[in-house]
Amino acid sequence: MRSFLDLRQTAPEEIRGILAQAAAMKAARAGRAKGASDDVQPLKDRMVALIFEKPSTRTRASFDVGVRQMGGETLVLTGKEMQLGHGETIADTARVLSRYVDLIMIRTFDEASLNELAEHASVPVINGLTDASHPCQIMADVMTFEEKRGSIAGRKVAWLGDGNNVCASFLHAAGQLGFDFTFCGPPNLDPAAPAVAFARERGSKVAIERDPARAVEGADLVVTDTWVSMHDAVSTRERRHNQLRPYQVDARLMGRAGPGALFMHCLPAHRGEEVTSEVMDGPASVVFDEAENRLHAQKAIMRWCLGV
């Protein structure tokens, strides 16, 4: 039994195996659309619990569709329905759900909730997002980059804005897959120190740069994310906008990146804030390929967890 909790805890060769499986499944799906046979259903007669303490569009849709494409069924549970950790402990919830399902995906707030669930479950657990990390997203991002530009090893990724959970997982991937990472944002929003240390300890060149133009120089990939969370107070939103406005990704900034540089955003995007529509809809943008690849990457992650 293998859980997918964090890219730090997944060996580089395992990450590479999952990415190869994702690419193969995507190709098989494309072949099916052209009339080729695609009868493989590795999750036939399997039940997957999808737990959402945080609202979701892409995570919910991609996991639900992925399970169904592989012949399984889903049980979708929201925070209101479960009250995870309120009344019944997370450990007891894990023990009970393990009697009903074959795999659990959870999208939650506190990383401790994910870890407690995984510790007490007797089935694999997948991290669909926590406040600390978002490994499924980065698997899709790496898959997308390598579809377009080949191996990400030795490349430069530039991150603009808030050093949030997605940024942390990018740093974990940098350490595991051998690419360099430049963060550009205000000092109070720097990425988590342990994530930076993880990448550096494994040989990745990690730079903290305050000047956006210098940060993107020579970058093969430019990435940003929303400036505010759906749960942030109005005062927080206003402060974040003021802090992060200098780090907006626009056409002028993309023009300073390396030749053939790609642009990514995990979505949902606030056009005109962290990125302009000119970039979002421009030739460097692969945001919708990135969103599609959540489906394929997560299908491969589920197969890896279940060994099927």
> What radius of gyration, in Å, describes the C-alpha atoms of the chain?
19
- Is residue 137 part of the annotated active site? The answer reads yes
Secondary structure of residue 126 in the 3-state scheme: strand
- Is residue 252 part of the annotated active site? The answer reads no
Residue 122 sits at the vertex; the CA angle it makes with 120 and 125, to the nearest 5 degrees, is 80
- Is residue 298 part of the annotated active site? The answer reads no
Distance, in Å, from the CA atom of 268 to the CA atom of 159, rounded to the nearest integer, reads: 17
Q: Which of 136, 184, 266, 305 does the annotation list as catalytic? A: 266
Distance, in Å, from the CA atom of 212 to the CA atom of 245, rounded to the nearest integer, reads: 11
- Is residue 83 part of the annotated active site? The answer reads no
Residue 206 sits at the vertex; the CA angle it makes with 192 and 204, to the nearest 5 degrees, is 110
Residue 118 sits at the vertex; the CA angle it makes with 112 and 124, to the nearest 5 degrees, is 145
Q: Which of 6, 58, 136, 137 does the annotation list as catalytic? A: 137
- Is residue 266 part of the annotated active site? The answer reads yes
- Could you tell me where the DSSP H helices lie in 121-192? 135-149, 165-177
Q: What secondary structure letter does DSSP report for 225?
A: -
Q: Which of 58, 60, 107, 265 does the annotation list as catalytic? A: 107
Whether the Cβ atoms of residue 219 and residue 156 lie closer than 8 Å to each other: yes
Q: Which of 294, 296, 298, 303 does the annotation list as catalytic? A: 294
Q: Which of 46, 58, 134, 155 does the annotation list as catalytic? A: 134
Distance, in Å, from the CA atom of 154 to the CA atom of 34, rounded to the nearest integer, reads: 36
List the beta bridge partners of residue 77.
51
- Using DSSP bridges, classify how beta strands 156-160 and 221-224 pair: parallel, antiparallel or unpaired: parallel
Q: Which of 6, 141, 180, 225 does the annotation list as catalytic? A: 225
Q: What positions carry a catalytic annotation?
A: 107, 134, 137, 225, 266, 294
